[in-house]
Structure 1
Amino acid sequence: MPVLELPMALWLLLGAILLLLLLVWFSQMSTSSRLRRIEEQLGKKPHHSQEEGAGAADTGAESGEQTRLFQEFMMEDPKRAGLPKKEQFAAFRKWRAEKGLNWNSNINKSSNPT
């Protein structure tokens, strides 16, 4: 039996290699299971309550109102359509402030009774 006649150092080397392979395999399985748990946690979508949904609907209504106001602003002076977007929006903000449509202008009016 030639296999049994291997020197003791070779058997120790084979045992050490086998032990290292097992340790690598166990660490790989542990990492894999952790990664799977993290992926499951990230894959879960948060449940939105109906209150949050109502807030999103309000935002859409506000956006529609802003769009309508911007169209009204653009119709008042057709030359504004030729302005760059940055200047259009700066003029729109100024127009809203003059009309008292800005949120902070409403506060200033209510806090200043003059």
Structure 2
Amino acid sequence: MYEAATVDGAGSWIKFRHITLPGISPITFFILVTSLIGALQDFTRFIIMTAGGPNYSTTTIVYYLYTTAFQYNDMGFASAIAWFVGFIIMIITLINFLASKKWVHYN
């Protein structure tokens, strides 16, 4: 494809934009989805570094789930939080999959 684009007179920017980017779009999409899921489940950094921080300023929803379940022993509410986190991750992933139809090219 690069040789054909060179023969047609395409420059390096045009080759990058029309050949390289569509070629790596499935990998970029996979990294986007897995990174978002990982970021929404981030727990370890916050418990090690700040343990919720001063006045709960660095508390994430997963850290809140952990404290609800294992410090306050409210397993029912913690289970509801876990379902909520799973539902939010599912919705964000679904939005990513719907939006990917415009920019991910499987050739």
Q: Report which of the two has the higher share of helix.
A: 1
Of structures 1 and 2, the larger Rg is shown by 1
TM-score, with normalisation over the residues of structure 1? Answer: 0.27
